[in-house]
Amino acid sequence: QANACRMVADWNCQREAGIRAQAAARELGSPHLQVRGLIAESRGRVAVQDYNRGTRLLAQAEAILKQHPQPELLADVMLAYSSMSYSLGRNERGIEYANRGLAVLQPGEGVTISARLLRNRARSQAQLGQVEEATESVRAATALSRQLQDPKLEAELYLEGARIARIVGDQATQIENGRRILDMGRRLSSTQLAGLGHEVLGLAALDVS
């Protein structure tokens, strides 16, 4: 339920579902399910800028994982930290958390989380003007997204690529990526992706003019 709520950006629903998951996990004696509930609640709170509570929930999840290790869940905690750091403009921390998450995963383990960690790292690197590093992070994440056959994630990565291209004044790549996002929006019947594609193309047109 928390995941479904997140897909439609119903943050209160996600938060409440995360709380219920934690209660059920405690009753069952399942620490890993409790961690998943904590992450879900944290993301719901961070989405409405309740950063203090979101941070405390992630710290609680980390503490549980020290007693009951699970690499993919720890990487997911680092993913949440990196997303929050980016939202707060703390891009050095965002890169640090993304790297910590990637470091706990073995090759081939947690591929979806790895791709999102790389995406987050690219966002923060781009904000810091680390264009070459950001481009490489996007390239690696895109390769994983194709392996996963996850078109939504691939579209998000084209968006990151367009943002990096704008920083260096590469209008051709901006336009190419904008058209790719629009195409994916049509195939997925996603108005959100369509809007992002038009935004990328509009910014490219403004830069040319």
Backbone angles phi, psi at 157, to 5 degrees: -75, -35
Q: In whole angstroms, what is the distance from residue 138 CA to residue 192 CA?
A: 21
- pTM higher than 0.75: yes
The CA distances from residue 72 to 68, 113, 148, 157, 205, in Å, are: 12, 8, 16, 21, 41
Q: In whole angstroms, what is the distance from residue 27 CA to residue 36 CA?
A: 15
pLDDT in tens, 16-25: 999 999 999 9
Kindly tell me if the per-residue pLDDT of 177 is higher than 80. yes
Token pair belonging to 93: 């921390």
64 contacts 35 by C-beta, under 8 angstroms: yes
pLDDT in tens, 83-139: 999 999 999 999 999 999 999 999 888 999 999 999 999 999 999 989 999 999 999
**DSSP per-residue letters across 134-183:** HHHHHHHHHHHHHHHT-HHHHHHHHHHHHHHHHHTT-HHHHHHHHHHHHH
DSSP, collapsed to helix, strand or coil, labels residue 50 as: coil
